[in-house]
Amino acid sequence: MIRKIDHIGIAVADADAALAVFRDALGLKLIETEPVPGQKLVSYHLRIGESNLELLHPSDPESVIAKFIAKRGEGIHHIALAVEEIEDEIARLQRAGLKPLGDGPSEGAGGKRVIFFHPKTTGGVLLELCEARST
């Protein structure tokens, strides 16, 4: 079941400049800075209500985020939806015609289990499902 918008991912070329806007000018609280080596990026989590804005800064010019910025420029990269039972949600969305990018969940920022769905099947929006790690 989809519970809420977990975060909105924003691709940024200059993390300091982005933090000057989102943290300093808007006053959002930076709650975590996290290198995500598997995705070749650094993730900056800023709290807004019960959700986050996630600034995605590439740590490698060959990363997906670096290529996204080169092709489309900085801006919204994806919307992430918090779910329970991610495998059930993947199957449900596949039955509805959405196409996952990958064979199953992988580890994302914060140790969450994540999977993305192709924008061609979601109305042009890259959607991410994420399931919080068990505590």
pTM of the model: 0.92
Tokens 């919204």 appear where? 76
User: In the structure, what pLDDT confidence band is assigned to residue 53 with cuts at 50, 70 and 90?
Assistant: very high
Query: Any idea where the domains of the chain sit in the sequence?
Result: 2-131
The CATH classification of domain 2-131, taken from the options 3.50.50.60, 3.10.180.10, 3.90.550.10, 3.40.50.720: 3.10.180.10
User: In the structure, what pLDDT confidence band is assigned to residue 110 with cuts at 50, 70 and 90?
Assistant: confident
For all residues of the chain together, what is the average pLDDT? 96
Q: What values do phi and psi take at 118, rounded to 5?
A: -60, 130
What contacts 86, CB < 8 A, 6 or more positions away?
105, 113, 115, 129, 130, 131
